[in-house]
Structure 1
Amino acid sequence: MGELPATYVEGFHDKEAVLRMPYRVLGKTGLSVSIISLGASSLGSVFHATNEEECIELVKEAVRSGINYIDVAPFYGQTKAETVLGKALKVIPRQAYYLTTKVCRYGATPEDMFDFSYERAVKSVDESLARLNVDCIDILQVHDMEFAPSLDIVLNESLPAVAAIKAAGKCKFIGITGYPMDNFRNVIEKSKVPIDSILTYCRYSLNDTSLLGLLDFLVERGIGIVNASPISMGLLSNRGPPEWHPATEEIRVACKAAAEYCSERGIDIAKLAMAFSLAHTTISTTLVSTSSIANLRRNLAAVTAVLTEDEKAAMEHVRKEIFDKLSSPHWEQKEVDKYWEQRGGKPQSA
Structure 2
Amino acid sequence: MTRLGRSAVDVSRLALGAAAIGNLFTPVTDAQAEEAVATAWASGVRYFDTAPHYGLGLSERRLGDALHSFPRDEYVISTKVGRILEPDPTGSGDDLANGFAVPATHRRRWDFSADGVRRSIEESLNRLDLDRIDIAFLHDPDDHAEQALGEAYPELARMRDEGILGAIGVGMNQAELPARFVRETDLDVVLLAGRYSLLDQRGLTELLPLAAERGVSVVIGGVFNSGLLADPKPGATFDYAAAPPELVYRALQFNAVCGQHGVPLRAAALSFPFGHPAVASVLVGARSAAEVEDAAAMLRLPVPAALWAELKDRGLLPPEVPTPDGVH
Normalising by structure 2, report the TM-score. Answer: 0.79
**Is the counterpart of residue 232 in structure 1 residue 225 in structure 2?**
yes
Q: How many positions carry a matched residue from both structures? A: 296
Between the aligned partners of 1:100 and 1:296, the Cα distance in structure 2 is 18
> Contact between 1:259 and 1:268, CA under 8 Å: does it hold in 2?
no
Between the aligned partners of 1:216 and 1:307, the Cα distance in structure 2 is 24
> Contact between 2:267 and 2:299, CA under 8 Å: does it hold in 1?
no
Aligned partner of 1:119 in structure 2 is: 115
> Contact between 2:182 and 2:216, CA under 8 Å: does it hold in 1?
no
Deviation of 1:245 after TM superposition, in Å, equals 1.5
Aligned partner of 2:78 in structure 1 is: 100
**Is the counterpart of residue 205 in structure 1 residue 178 in structure 2?**
no
Aligned partner of 1:245 in structure 2 is: 240
Aligned partner of 1:154 in structure 2 is: 148
Deviation of 1:169 after TM superposition, in Å, equals 3.2
Deviation of 1:65 after TM superposition, in Å, equals 3.1
Between the aligned partners of 1:116 and 1:248, the Cα distance in structure 2 is 33
Between the aligned partners of 1:248 and 1:96, the Cα distance in structure 2 is 39
Paired AA for residue 51 in structure 2: A
1:258 to 241, 248, 253: 253
**Is the counterpart of residue 24 in structure 1 residue 6 in structure 2?**
no
Superposed, 1:180-329 pairs within 5 Å as 180-191=174-185, 194-213=186-205, 214-238=207-231, 241-242=236-237, 245-246=240-241, 249=244, 252-258=247-253, 261=256, 268-307=264-303, 313=307, 321=314, 323-324=316-317
Q: Secondary structure at the match of 2:142?
A: helix
Normalising by structure 1, report the TM-score. Answer: 0.74
Identity of aligned residues (%): 28
Aligned partner of 1:135 in structure 2 is: 131
Deviation of 1:319 after TM superposition, in Å, equals 5.8
> Contact between 1:35 and 1:278, CA under 8 Å: does it hold in 2?
no
Between the aligned partners of 2:129 and 2:50, the Cα distance in structure 1 is 13
Paired AA for residue 221 in structure 1: R
Deviates more, 1:205-214 or 1:109-118: 109-118
Between the aligned partners of 2:64 and 2:147, the Cα distance in structure 1 is 30
1:80 to 58, 62, 66: 58
**Is the counterpart of residue 40 in structure 1 residue 35 in structure 2?**
no
Q: Deviations over 1:287-339 (max 9, x none)?
A: 01101111211211123212469xx54x65566647459xxxxxxxxxxxxxx
Q: Secondary structure at the match of 1:146?
A: coil
Gap regions ≥5 residues in structure 1: 1-22, 326-350
Aligned partner of 1:63 in structure 2 is: 41
Deviation of 1:84 after TM superposition, in Å, equals 0.7
Q: Deviations over 1:242-296 (max 9, x none)?
A: 4871576266434553366469868642232123234545311010110111121
**Is the counterpart of residue 171 in structure 1 residue 149 in structure 2?**
no
> Contact between 1:78 and 1:106, CA under 8 Å: does it hold in 2?
no
Between the aligned partners of 1:178 and 1:138, the Cα distance in structure 2 is 18
Paired AA for residue 232 in structure 1: N
Q: Secondary structure at the match of 1:291?
A: coil
RMSD: 2.9
> Contact between 1:165 and 1:171, CA under 8 Å: does it hold in 2?
yes
> Contact between 1:89 and 1:133, CA under 8 Å: does it hold in 2?
no
Between the aligned partners of 2:246 and 2:10, the Cα distance in structure 1 is 35
Deviation of 1:50 after TM superposition, in Å, equals 1.5
Aligned partner of 1:14 in structure 2 is: none
Q: Secondary structure at the match of 2:70?
A: coil
Aligned partner of 2:324 in structure 1 is: none
Paired AA for residue 176 in structure 2: D
Deviation of 1:78 after TM superposition, in Å, equals 1.6
The answer to which structure has the higher helix fraction is: 1
Between the aligned partners of 1:93 and 1:260, the Cα distance in structure 2 is 40
Between the aligned partners of 2:84 and 2:312, the Cα distance in structure 1 is 36
Q: Secondary structure at the match of 2:79?
A: strand
When residues 259 and 189 of structure 1 are mapped into structure 2, their CA distance, relative to the original with a 3 A threshold, is closer
Deviation of 1:227 after TM superposition, in Å, equals 0.8
Q: Secondary structure at the match of 1:175?
A: strand
The answer to which structure has the higher strand fraction is: 2
Gap regions ≥5 residues in structure 2: 86-94, 99-106, 319-328
